[in-house]
A and B are shown apart, each in its own frame.
Chain A
Amino acid sequence: DGGITQSPKYLFRKEGQNVTLSCEQNLNHDAMYWYRQDPGQGLRLIYYSQIVNDFQKGDIAEGYSVSREKKESFPLTVTSAQKNPTAFYLCASSLRGDRKNEQFFGPGTRLTVL
């Protein structure tokens, strides 16, 4: 079954702690993305990667970091510098990183910082 997996589904962390969200895809897609979804604000792009070992900041990258060491994996670290980390995080991938390719989304991780 091809798709995108994100784990865990729910994550709780104490304020001041870094936390890493997992995203894995077995679709053989080149491009991967991280979005943050907040009520009434839609999806906002955090980081994206078009190819292994390369990634770019999206619209709201401050307080986040990523790595792309393998084609199938694109983990997101929410650092203590992120001022409002509680949110629903969505990972997506597309065959290539151009504007014509539809994105496939994972089930999301809901992060709550206490």
Chain B
Amino acid sequence: AQSVSQHNHHVILSEAASLELGCNYSYGGTVNLFWYVQYPGQHLQLLLKYFSGDPLVKGIKGFEAEFIKSKFSFNLRKPSVQWSDTAEYFCAAGSDSGGYQKVTFGTGTKLQVIP
């Protein structure tokens, strides 16, 4: 069965520090990868997605993620975080399951940025 692992449950950083959140998936077939973000009091929304092509994907607000197929990883990065990046981040993997889309979410990483 497909699974998505997020290694860090809670990350605390100072403003301007660099961020890397780990994500690994277990599915061996064709997979699409997503990072979603949930800001306090707001809807879950898409940050970035990978379907094919360039493994380095750029998203909104200066975030990027790199797909490394050999490592089954899709880590999220940002060179310099801001207080407004405080949120919960979810990695997700979409794959085919008997003709239906199946999207599996990780357990989430809470990021707290200290001014």
Contact = CB atoms under 8 A, between A and B. Distances in A.
Interface of A: 31, 33, 35, 40-45, 48, 50, 56, 90, 92, 94, 97-103, 105-108
Given A42-B6, A45-B102, 5 more contacts: A43-B44, A45-B103, A99-B103, A105-B45, A108-B43
Interface of B: 4, 6, 9, 30-32, 34, 36, 43-46, 49, 51, 90, 94-96, 100-108
Nearest to B94: A99
A114 B101 CA distance: 35
Contacts of A90: 44
A100 B107 contact: no
A100 B43 contact: no
A99 B101 contact: yes
A42 B108 contact: yes
Given A105-B44, A105-B45, A42 B106 contact: yes
A92 B49 CA distance: 17
A106 B38 CA distance: 11
A56 B108 CA distance: 25
Given A31-B101, A99-B101, A100-B51, A41 B43 contact: no
A108 B44 CA distance: 9
B105 A42 contact: yes
